[in-house]
Each structure stands twice: as structure tokens, then as C-alpha cells.
Structure 1
């Protein structure tokens, strides 16, 4: 670990110290290179840390890496870095690169200001330092490019150090840390909070408090989950804050206003479950939601209908043109209201958009219905809701791909991407590389559409171009993989295979399968088309075949998926024959945007 010391007008230095914890009495064991003031600081650091984290029967050993005739290490500013080192040693972790600390400590853990901070910054900078833990009053003395990390207590410094071990990015920490301990502010900014900060102890503590006090925070948590429902990496932190039992208890003890807020939570919870294909969770939340329906608004009913239709039809693979009576009634009522009001209607447009999707999932023979509902949706959205209208072009591309009408698919793809009418595969591939660097959910679905179109049209890109896309994706794929990454990688693998890049093709398919298997029931079923592609390209091995058979059995016995849709999987008892049958009929098993 690095220690910063100054020597008045004679400058300063960085001393690297070997530190360790060994069994023994609760004590310090140090070399002779420490002055009396520094020894006092070390003892305070040991005491302050021990009051937060017990170190039973452990001795701290410190050995400075310096010449014997060098001046001794002195000053009270060693207390903070030594306490931080104790934390790392206690967990068998290494000191993070570029991080320095300077500050005194009181036995109760309060951080104390010290002298010589500008000189220490200069020294740290020459030693590769980029950040420094200091007390707030010392922050103005920290000079660029070193970033000050203000801390008033050892506990706060330890929390920040824990974050830096995950993401050694002090600028992000300093910018966003004020939100972490303020619950309402945290919920309002969670959708843009850098993911590693969700692991910060202050953030975890705030989320626990939010979950423990639904009466105070449910309203804000609803909005946060709505923002994050298509972002599983963040929504995961929110989705289980409140159990159904907790929310029912809140309703029982609160005024009627709580019912509508709880209903909104149910809607967003179902939307999140839909996105990850978790049909099991949808069932529980739907049952609870239905107990509240007589006490909510018509607008809430319509929003819930859209999400439940997706859950009960698309996510269960229950593709049918029949519209349930209650949904037909809601649709007719909204159409009647719209004829009177005659203004842009987002709710009605969303309903027509979902019915357009439904036609797409039911097969290319229903393309006329897809187009009819898409036109109705465009009319309802009018010019006020252009972003919602854009999604209708995506449905048309998938519909034309299923019809194998690649000319029309290309025209609608250009329209959807905002490209020129005559643009083609080369421009689409450029756009795919550009989109691969994006973070917004809409960019992922655009990327999934481009790669699917290129693969279906049997476009064989130049090897360097497809490798450039693969390299860009390799840098951008998040650790928390989600829909539609499994489809992006599946169709990327098809392109890689056609380009003769066998190893890269197999790697992409393996990653696609892993994403499917990590998801809910809807996603797990999609793994079968990945294994079918491996079989088609003669890249499948015995573990893959065993995994494919396990998925088949899970799909056929699942109570959450529409068994009739997958009945064709029973016809071939051999796993290889089943995968070959599925590959030949993949547009039937996985229609529209599901492949």
C-alpha cells in the first residue's frame, strides 16, 4: 500500500508499505521506521477500525519498503490509509491502483484534516495517483488531476473504498454519491445511476429502508420501476422490494389512494416480468392485481390490459387471433371515447400496436391484420407520439421478413432507422456497429432487428466488417445480459457462420444459450433455437445435446407455457432429430420477433 508523507520545505515522498494481518494478540507490530507521532496514529487507526469490525486475535504487521538510513515516517495523516488497509487485509483484498488517502482519525472514526495536501497531490500524481480520500475541509487543496473523495468518517470512507474495488472510477463516485443515502433522490435517479454504484453500501442501505417503509416510498418506487422495467440490471434491485403481503397490508391500513399506487406497482412489476420472460411471477401479480380492479381508473385498466396481453399471449407462446371479450369491451369503449374527443390517444394507439404485434406472432398469413392495426395505431398516435409510432415500423420489418419479402423489409428497415430509401446491407452493418455502442434499450432492439434482417437475407458481410461488429459487441455486452441480447448473438452467429468464422460463431451461440437459460420460462424456451443452430452448423457437442434435452422436457412439462404450441417437439424422441425438425420449422416455433 502507498503512504504519502511530507517533510516541510524539503518536499515529500511515497513510501510503499507491506502490510499484513497475522494471528496473535490484538496489537501492532511495526518496523523501526515510524516516528512516535506516526505510531500514535497507527494505534488510533487500529482502534477506530476495530470498533467497526472486530479483529479478534490478529496482529497488524507493517514493513516500509525504504532504506534503513531514510528519515522515519511521521505524522498523524497515516491513520486513515492504515484503517483502509485494515479493511482490505481483513477481506484479503489488494489496495486499488491509483488510490491514495491522507487524514487523521479520532478513536470514534471521525476523519480529521491534515496539512500538506497540495504537496501530497503532486507526489501522488507522479506515482500514478488519480484519487485521494480526504476530509471535506481538505478537498479545496486537492489539485487536478487528482480527484478528492470527501469523507467525514471512517465508515463512509470504507463504503467508498468498497465501491472503488468494483469500479475504480472516482469521478462517478463523487458525482453520484450524494444520491445514494437520500431515498427519494436515489429512486428518481436510479435509471441513470452507473450500475456498479448499486453495490455501494449506502445504496443498499437506502433500498432496504425503502423496502421497509412502503407508506413513505411506494409512490416513488413505482416511478423508478416504471423507468427501469426494460432494464433488468436495475429493475432487479427494485422488483422484490415489496411482497404481495406487504402491499396488501398497506392497503388494509391506508386510505383508498394506496390502492391505485399499489395497482401501478403491479402493472410495472408485470412489465418487468414480461421483459425477462418470467411467466411464473406474472401469474402471482396478476392474481393480486385482479383483486384491486374495482377500485382503479379506466386508464389504469387499459395499461394493465396491454401488459397482461403480452404476458398471457406472447410470453406463453399462446398465439391466437381471438380477442378476449373483456379486452374487446375495453377496446370498444376507448374507441367510442376517442370518436367524441377526436384527439391523439396514446392508450388507444398502444392497444392497436399490441394487436398489430399479435397478428405478427400469429404468422405471416395474418400480415394484412398487422398492417391494418398498425395504420389504426398511427392514426391514434398522430404527430404527438412519434416515438411510439416508430415502433410500428419495426413490426412491419419483422412481418415482411416472415413473408420473405426482403425488398419491403429493407424499405421499412431504412424508414425505422432513419436512413435513406436506397440504403442497403453495407449501410445497415455500419449502423449496427454504431448501435452496438449505445446504452438505451431502444438501440438494442434496433440492433437485434438489423442483425436478424442481415441473417435472414443471407447477406455475407466482408470478414473484416463482421469481425468489427463482433469486436464492438464484445466490448459493449454488459455483464448483466438481457433480452434481446440472446437474439442479437444468435443472428450474429448466423452471419459469422456464413462468413466461415466457425470459432466465433460457436462462441456467440454459447453466449446466446447462456442468456436464454438465465431468463424466465419464455427465454429458456428460446434456447432450443440456439441449440438447433448449433446442430445445423455441426457445432453441437454432447453437453449441448444434454442441455437441449433438458430444455425440451422443461418446456413440455411447464405449466406456464402453452403446451399445444410446442407439441411438435414430442414427435422426435431423439434430441438431434428434434433439433433438426425445430430448425426447419423455426419460424413456426419462434415467429415474428422471437428469433
Structure 2
């Protein structure tokens, strides 16, 4: 304020004062106390500035108060004593402070140049929903400009049609000269974006400015003087200008300005909204690619993995149109399905993948069974990983309908599908030795192919080996009485994956020893189980494991913890203490850490270490209760709970029982209600006792 006082008193400072007051990009610094603020107002009032400038001064102060979410107490009352708000703004707003307010930069061209004028927009409580433009502001606008504000309001209200008992108030921060200052409809886009931000609560990036008309149907219409407006935006340090596609910058536009900022051509209001709310220096290049990709199906396929799912959601109608075109073209759909499958293999892309599925046509193109099966398999894997078992089941059924035909064209695609299908069944706790007829036929086809390949010297068949590995698990989940079948599938898997002859496939064939070791442990073959453990960990005896703990991966740690929890196997105590210490330092949320903590908790109980047992069971429970991990992990909360109830106080247990029971039942309903019927036919503590007595039957094989 002291700076304003100095300028106001300067003989030639009035034009400079006007420019400062009209520039909302720079805040005014007020004196810290109401008394000093009051003194400053008296000083400026008596400085001799023209009445129009004095009015602008008070409008600026009131604008600051409306825009400030936490104004200094007493300042508004002080300001009202000098210049009542209603008198100044000429409105009948009752409680503008209870509304939401934003400042909107608008590019105004005149005399072949452009400047930024700031508008104030508010959404305030009111019985009337009619747009309010103060009378003094109306005098500064021509009919087209006022119509453009109405059009902007329509676009904003379309975003949230349910919002009622609110009205928009719009006025410029401008000198009340009584002369026409605002003409044509090119401010509609900027005003519409600002007004929509009030409706939705999502802010427009402060680096973005927009120019363009609106046609009343969400389309953006052309503007004039675009080059001048872009130059004006650069001079005011904006980094992004949204403009109509019909109005392109001239080739001769100042290259320095183009380097400083990014112009985006937009044709629809919803696209402009997406860019305006998402723009940042970090996202500038990716947003440019996004706008280009939405106009070209092939480019969209190439770039789609880079776009967050949220962005696709903002442009859902456009993405739906693109995907409809892609699903109608064989070459495009094939590219899309394969790219999508790659995204699903990268867990960091799952939000984007799910957004694509949400926008894709429901019908899978059956006339292209290979690409169709890739699409079904990828979605089955996606929703299986996300724990959405019901949606996964839908994709399983669609994939089955295509697999029979697809495997006669490309057997390896069918292998990927059936691997995913069986794993999905395991995650739903559906365990059976039966195999679908189409899978049996596929196995026969693959084994015939493998014999022919082996006769020619090619002994490794990776797809077949992976399928055998899944069948090892499929058999082992059915219990110890199927150990012979499990052993047979394991031998086939090791042979097809080239055990000891294919270093590049070593992680795959070595994993088979994890499956076989756990199956043997469940079947009571302790010597055979230990042999698998040593092979999987790369040691010769149990005494060497403790030294390797820091280098073990989570699944190797899990297998080691499972052996520690077994009563009939002698394992050095150094391994127990080493694993507990290591897990405490490296614990993560996710599979298999819930099992690691659970089995180490059981190992602690065997060693009468109740303190660590309780802590480890509680950590296992916390992981299982993480809703983002899905119901397969969630239902495993029953495991630590069955043991925890005897390690914690009754009051602690009773305080959480209702929450535990509700979540466990919800997970059971999603998975396999019949398998977990004991949760519904008895009290919860009785159900937990049932889990403790029948743990290995309820949670077989690798779920132990």
C-alpha cells in the first residue's frame, strides 16, 4: 500500500497506478493492522486521484477480499466504511463472502495489439439462478460480449447441472469510463473455463490463458488477432494459450515467444477444460501429444500408455469414439490389443488400462479371434491383479468363447489365456483338478508340437513350460492327495523350460522348485521339500541360508518363512532371527509380504517369542486389510486373526471385531461364498477358531 500511496501522490503516476490496480497477477501488500490499513485508505482518498481511478482502487480492494479465502479480520468492515461493497459493485448480493470466487485472465485485442484484462467471477447463494452482470459493467460491453458470457455460463453449468440455488456474478476489473471496452465473443472460452472451475472446484492452471468463442453446443469458434493475443500472453508471462483450431498462429509469429510458451489448438470446450486444468511445465509435452493423439487413432495407440487414466476419463466421449473406430478396423485393433497387453504387464500402467477398458465397446470383435483373445486375456489379467473378481469372471467367459478358434491359429496366445484363467480361478479360491476341454485339446496340440521340435533338436518350449508350471499350482492347490500329479507336472515343466541348459530361462525353471517345495511340504515329504528349498535358494544346507537373507527376493523369503513355521523341520535359529530382523527393515505392502509376516509369526510362536509373534501377525493383518490389494489378499486376514485373538487383550479384540468381520464377509462374498460359508453360519470368534483348526484346508499350498 505504501507503494500505491507514493504513486498516487506522484504528478504523473496515475496511468501507472491504473495498470497496477488492473493487474491481478500481482498481489497488493496490505499493512498488518486494521488501523494502519484505515490510515492508508484515508491517505489515498485525499491524494487527489480522479474519481474513476478511486473507484477502480476500491473495486480492486473488494476483488482481493472476495478472492482471499482467509481475509484479515476487520479489513472488510474497514473497507465497507470507506466504500460499501453494494454501492461499488452495484449488485444485490446478500452474502457474497459465502460464495466461491475466481479471477479470469481475458485477452482483449485493440488497435492491432492485445492486453490482458482480469475478470472476477463468483458463484454465490441466491434464490435466482440468473446470471448477474453489474449495470456499470454492462455499459462497457457490446451485445455479442454479453451473449458470450451467457454462453460461457451454459457450458459451465452443463458440467454440474445438479447445482442449484447459486448464481454467477461476472464483472471486469476495469476503469468505469462509460465507454465500450469489450466487444465480440472471443472471451467466452476463458470465462467458461473460469466459471466451470467454480462449479467443479477444480482450478484452472495459472499458467494458462484462453481465447475463443463458444457456439452453445460445446464447440469453440474462431477469433481474430490471434498473433497479437499470443504475443500479449507471452508479455504477461503465460506459458500456454488455448485457441480455436480454426485460428492458427502465423508462421512469422515471434519465435522467441513461441519458445517461451505453448499454443494449443482446441475444437471442443471439454478438451480445453482438460488442458486448462492439467497443464504444468512437467506435463506440457505430454499434453501436446495427448491433444494430437485424440485426433488420430494410430497415433493414439502409439502414445496411449503415456497418458494417465484420469486424462482419458476427462475426454471419455472422445476416447470412446476413437476406440469405436479402432475396434472396427482389423489392423488398428490388432495393434491396440497388443499394446494394451504390454501395458497390463506394467503394473504402473493399470489405471490407464482400466480407463481404456471403461471406454471401449462392450462387444469383442469375434471376427478377429487372435487379437480378440489378446484383448480378453489382458483384461482378465488386469482385473485379476486388481482383485475385481466379478469383472475378471466376465472376461474369462468372453475369452473362453474365442480360445477354441484362436488356438488353431496361434496356440501360444491360447496358452497365455489359459494361464491367466487358471490363476484367476486360484485367486477366487476355486480349486479343482478338472481342466476345460479346450485346455485339454490345447495341451495335446502343444505336446505334439514339442515332440516334433525336440526331434529336430529344439528341446525348450517356453509357452508349454509356463503352462505346465501353472498346472503344477493347479494340482497343488487341490491338496496333498494330488502330490503325484503335481510331481509329474513339475517334471514336465522343468524339461520344457530347459532346466540347467537355459541360463536365460533360469528364473522360470527355478521358480518350479518353489511350487514343488511347498507342495511337498504340504504332503509331509520333508526331505523332498528341503531339497527344493536348497535348490531354490542356491544353498547346500540350511546353515547357509542365514548369510544369504539380505540377497533373497520376497518369494524366496516367503518360502524360507514357510519352512520356519513348520513344526517337523529343524532350521537353525540364526535363520529365524535373521529373517525377522530383515523383514522388519524391508517390509512392503503387497503379496507375498502378508504371508511372510504370518509365517514368521507362527515361527515366533513355535519359539515362544510372543512379542514378535504379535507384532508380525499385526503387520500381516495390516497388509491384508489394505483395500487396494483386493479380496484374495483381504480374506487372508483370517489367518493372522485366528492367532492374534489369543495374543492381545479382550478389549482390543472387541473394539475391532465388527470391522474385521464386515471386511472378511465382504471379501468372501466377492470370492467364493460357499468355501467361506463358516463365516456366515456361526459367530465370528467361532469362525476364527475354525480357521485355526482347519487352516491348511482353507488356505492350501502357496496360500499357507
TM-score of the two chains, using structure 1 as the length reference: 0.67
Aligned mate of 2:272, from 158, 164, 168: 158
2:430 paired with 1:317 = yes
Q: Residue 29 of structure 1: SS of its match in structure 2?
A: coil
Aligned mate of 1:115, from 228, 240, 243: 228
Matched residue, 2:192:
83
Unaligned runs of 5+ in 1: 252-256, 429-445, 474-484
2:568 paired with 1:460 = no
Deviation of 1:461 after TM superposition, in Å, equals 3.4
Range 492-501 or range 290-299, more displaced: 492-501
Aligned mate of 1:545, from 658, 661, 673: 661
2:311 paired with 1:197 = yes
Check conservation: 1:35, 1:72, Cα contact below 8 A.
Answer: yes
Unaligned runs of 5+ in 2: 1-101, 565-575, 602-610
After superposition, residues 551-570 of structure 1 pair within 5 angstroms as 557-558=673-674, 569=678
Check conservation: 2:205, 2:280, Cα contact below 8 A.
Answer: no
Deviation of 1:394 after TM superposition, in Å, equals 3.9
After superposition, residues 231-380 of structure 1 pair within 5 angstroms as 232-239=350-357, 241-243=360-362, 246-247=363-364, 258-272=368-382, 274-275=384-385, 276=387, 277-278=389-390, 280-281=393-394, 284-285=397-398, 288-289=401-402, 292=405, 296-311=409-424, 315-318=428-431, 320=433, 326=441, 329-343=444-458, 344-358=460-474, 361=477, 372-379=491-498
Matched residue, 2:338:
223
**Matches of 1:553 and 1:301, distance apart in 2:** 30
Number of positions where the alignment pairs a residue of Structure 1 with one of Structure 2:
529
Aligned mate of 2:686, from 573, 577, 591: 577
Matched residue, 2:513:
396
Cα deviation code 1:60-104 (max 9, x no counterpart):
4125679999x9987987443212113333x34242353431424
Deviation of 1:150 after TM superposition, in Å, equals 0.5
**Matches of 1:29 and 1:395, distance apart in 2:** 74
Provide closer, same or farther for how the CA distance between residues 293 and 60 of structure 1 changes in structure 2, counting only shifts above 3 A. Answer: closer
**Matches of 2:167 and 2:537, distance apart in 1:** 67
Provide closer, same or farther for how the CA distance between residues 165 and 23 of structure 1 changes in structure 2, counting only shifts above 3 A. Answer: farther
Provide closer, same or farther for how the CA distance between residues 376 and 515 of structure 1 changes in structure 2, counting only shifts above 3 A. Answer: same
2:122 paired with 1:19 = yes
**Matches of 1:317 and 1:29, distance apart in 2:** 65
The Cα RMSD (Å) is: 5.5
Deviation of 1:336 after TM superposition, in Å, equals 1.8
Matched residue, 2:288:
174
Deviation of 1:462 after TM superposition, in Å, equals 7.3
**Matches of 2:377 and 2:513, distance apart in 1:** 27
TM-score of the two chains, using structure 2 as the length reference: 0.58
Check conservation: 2:294, 2:319, Cα contact below 8 A.
Answer: yes
**Matches of 1:363 and 1:147, distance apart in 2:** 65
**Matches of 1:556 and 1:460, distance apart in 2:** 33
Deviation of 1:490 after TM superposition, in Å, equals 6.5
Matched residue, 1:44:
148
Provide closer, same or farther for how the CA distance between residues 571 and 377 of structure 1 changes in structure 2, counting only shifts above 3 A. Answer: farther
Deviation of 1:109 after TM superposition, in Å, equals 2.4
Whichever of the two has the greater Rg, that structure is 2
**Matches of 1:425 and 1:2, distance apart in 2:** 59
Cα deviation code 1:413-433 (max 9, x no counterpart):
689xxxx999644455xxxxx
**Matches of 2:617 and 2:695, distance apart in 1:** 23
Q: Residue 498 of structure 2: SS of its match in structure 1?
A: helix
Matched residue, 2:72:
none
